[in-house]
């Protein structure tokens, strides 16, 4: 097996373990928060803590890994993730909402590093293979579609008096496996590449002023924010409409499958039809999710909507990431990637923060209507890329 193939395989394993943890947290944290806090509009704050930690870590993570290497960054962050999972389990046993938020915050610190799995694959690939490399790494999340919700469902009642405490204890093992897998990565640091160190990098202001960079960031930002906004509110909406947790776990499972299963083909689709077409199709899928949600609140409708939402996110995220990689040189990647993730996860944190409050105060219909302006921004941004390429 070539070094490139081995690295992509290991990055895909890391992605699958990261998304196993995140899918379990998405399915359970709002419900844990609901049981721990008196003000029910704060139930999604553990998800907010996770996203805030991710955005705060994004730029330091990019620079640390550029200086010390991907293996160091992913491995060290995996240890922090394990501590976060253990803290969350302890918090549930102590019935402490603030401690639970600390646990999800620490997992978010790991995510600030783990979200660079896709960039690590793109950086290690030849230009014509970047979309494929990103797709293959994200395809690792297919495992998470089954593993995360299943782990949540099967461990929920292992400690009968404290639902979900065993779920978060099990996540410690997930992070240990991740640390072991990334230890076998062989990706050189920039300091080992004489080409990277001999060329002067542009400043961040110059990089982020590029129209393609702006469009890539906007599409990734609002595609991810729309997905997080609707996904975070879904467990609360299902709970309000009387659906049992087993159905909620199933809906999240289909959603995660929608997020990652298309990755087996998305890289090819980007090369075949172009970045702009895939961005527009991704926005259309997320729009379909909104339309289905507005049509009713049966388990089938929740499941179908979140499946479409996941597919839309996949197309938007891979196409936007591919577009982003066209806007910077190797020696500029830390600042370009770090700033991109800072913007993306700032919006994601805001989406998670507002989703719970909107759902609690105004209901499921308002949540979905509020997603429409974000989809409009994606469409306009994608069309700007098309106009620029035709000019």
Q: How far apart are CA 289 and CA 210, in angstroms?
A: 31
Looking at residue 353, which CATH number applies to its domain? 1.20.1250.20
Name the residue among 321, 348, 318, 314 with its Cα closest to residue 53. Answer: 348
Residue 126: exposed, middle, or buried by beta-carbon count in 10 A (0-12, 13-18, 19+)?
Answer: exposed
Name the residue among 235, 371, 370 with its Cα closest to residue 302. Answer: 235
Q: How far apart are CA 148 and CA 19, in angstroms?
A: 8
pLDDT recorded at residue 113: 94
pLDDT recorded at residue 197: 46
What are the residue ranges of helices labelled H in the chain? 3-36, 45-68, 70-94, 97-114, 117-124, 130-139, 141-155, 165-182, 194-198, 204-208, 211-240, 245-260, 263-273, 275-295, 299-325, 333-362, 364-370, 372-390
Q: How many CB atoms lie within 10 A of CB 140?
A: 24
pLDDT recorded at residue 124: 75
Q: How far apart are CA 235 and CA 27, in angstroms?
A: 7
Residue 161: exposed, middle, or buried by beta-carbon count in 10 A (0-12, 13-18, 19+)?
Answer: exposed
161 membership: H or E segment, kind and range: none
pLDDT recorded at residue 169: 94
Please tell me the total count of domains within the chain: 1
pLDDT tens-digit profile, the chain (391 residues): 677 788 889 999 999 999 899 989 988 888 898 888 888 778 878 988 998 898 889 889 988 998 888 899 999 999 999 999 999 999 999 999 999 999 999 999 999 999 889 888 887 777 777 778 888 888 888 887 788 888 888 888 888 778 889 999 999 999 999 999 999 988 766 544 444 444 577 888 999 999 999 999 999 999 999 999 999 899 889 988 999 988 988 898 899 889 888 988 888 899 899 999 999 999 999 999 999 999 999 999 999 999 999 999 999 999 999 999 889 888 888 889 889 988 998 898 888 888 888 888 899 999 999 999 999 999 999 999 988 776 5
Q: How far apart are CA 203 and CA 97, in angstroms?
A: 42
Radius of gyration of the chain (CA): 20
pLDDT recorded at residue 1: 63
Residue 289's contacts (CB-CB under 8 Å, 6 or more residues apart) are 230, 305, 306, 308, 309, 312
Q: How far apart are CA 52 and CA 353, in angstroms?
A: 10
Phi and psi (nearest 5°) for 115? Answer: -65, -10
The half-sphere exposure of 292 on its side-chain side, counting CA atoms within 13 A, is 20
Residue 129's contacts (CB-CB under 8 Å, 6 or more residues apart) are none
pLDDT recorded at residue 17: 94
Residue 339's contacts (CB-CB under 8 Å, 6 or more residues apart) are 59, 204, 207, 208, 217
Torsion of Cα atoms, 232 then 233 then 234 then 238, to 10°: 140
Find out whether 330 and 123 touch, Cβ atoms under 8 Å.
yes
Residue 37 is given by DSSP the state -
| Domain, as residue range, for 120 | 3-390
Q: How far apart are CA 28 and CA 281, in angstroms?
A: 30
pLDDT recorded at residue 193: 47
Q: How far apart are CA 261 and CA 63, in angstroms?
A: 31
Residue 348's contacts (CB-CB under 8 Å, 6 or more residues apart) are 51, 54, 55, 224, 225, 228
């Amino acid at each position: 097996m070539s070094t490139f193939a081995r690295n992509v395989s290991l990055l895909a394993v890391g992605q699958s373990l990261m998304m196993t943890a995140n899918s379990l947290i998405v399915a359970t944290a709002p419900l844990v928060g609901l049981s721990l806090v008196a003000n029910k509009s704060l139930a999604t704050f553990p998800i907010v803590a996770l996203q805030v930690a991710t955005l705060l870590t994004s730029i330091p993570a990019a620079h640390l890994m550029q200086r010390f290497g991907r293996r160091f960054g992913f491995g060290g962050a995996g240890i922090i993730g394990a501590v976060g999972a253990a803290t969350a389990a302890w918090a549930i046993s102590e019935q402490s909402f603030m401690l639970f938020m600390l646990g999800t915050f620490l997992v978010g610190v790991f995510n600030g590093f783990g979200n660079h799995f896709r960039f690590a694959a793109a950086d290690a690939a030849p230009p014509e293979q970047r979309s494929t490399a990103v797709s293959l790494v994200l395809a690792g999340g297919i495992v998470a579609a089954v593993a995360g919700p299943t782990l949540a469902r099967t461990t929920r009642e292992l400690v009968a008096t404290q639902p979900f405490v065993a779920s978060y204890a099990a996540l410690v093992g997930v992070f240990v496996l991740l640390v072991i897998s990334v230890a076998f990565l062989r990706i050189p640091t920039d300091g080992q590449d004489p080409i990277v160190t001999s060329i002067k990098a542009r400043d961040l202001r110059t990089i982020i002023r590029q129209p393609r960079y702006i469009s890539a960031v906007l599409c990734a930002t609002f595609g991810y924010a729309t997905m997080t906004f609707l996904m975070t509110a879904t467990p609360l909406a299902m709970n309000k409409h009387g659906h049992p947790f087993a159905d909620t776990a199933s809906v999240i499972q289909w959603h995660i499958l929608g997020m990652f299963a298309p990755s087996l083909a998305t890289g090819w689709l980007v090369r075949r039809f172009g970045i702009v077409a895939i961005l527009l199709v991704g926005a259309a899928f997320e729009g379909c999710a909104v339309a289905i949600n507005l049509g009713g609140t049966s388990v089938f409708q929740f499941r179908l909507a979140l499946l479409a939402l996941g597919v839309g996110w996949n197309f938007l995220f891979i196409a936007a990431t591919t577009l982003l990689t066209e806007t910077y040189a190797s020696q500029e990647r830390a600042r370009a990637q770090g700033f991109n993730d800072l913007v993306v996860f700032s919006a994601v944190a805001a989406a998670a923060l507002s989703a719970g409050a909107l759902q609690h105060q105004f209901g499921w219909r308002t949540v979905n209507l509020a997603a429409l302006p974000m989809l409009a921004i994606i469409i306009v941004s994608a069309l700007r890329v098309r106009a620029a390429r035709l000019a």
